[in-house]
Structure 1
């Protein structure tokens, strides 16, 4: 989906050929982290990455939970990492 910080999400929707603001892709798990990085998809649960390069946001960040190379995806934190961060606050 367009990154929530995008001032004109409709342009992103047109550029990527989205339907109802959603871009669906089927990827092999082995390539998911690489492709999300190449496309600069913000994979943080709270769309916290800033910058013009992040035109897309992975709304369901759990979609890549358990994928070995998910650590390559920009902003991705596993639920275990999120829990540890919350406990340390």
Structure 2
């Protein structure tokens, strides 16, 4: 993936802090990027329908794709408990008593 490597190299100072997080937290960061997930859903929905008769039909396709995908988004995040425990250890001062 040369384009990814180039992008990382150009912004290395922004990439390197990610690796300072403990492994449990990094796993959650990697797997819960909601914006990437949403973009993927939209790209997949319009991939086979490159031509739309009007804007309304395009909006409907995107809306229905997001609505269908949102059913899957209710699943719990894998390995959340170890990550949450690690968050509590690393950032105890940021959590308030509930």
When normalised by structure 2's length, the TM-score is 0.21
When normalised by structure 1's length, the TM-score is 0.23
Structure (1 or 2) with the larger CA radius of gyration: 2
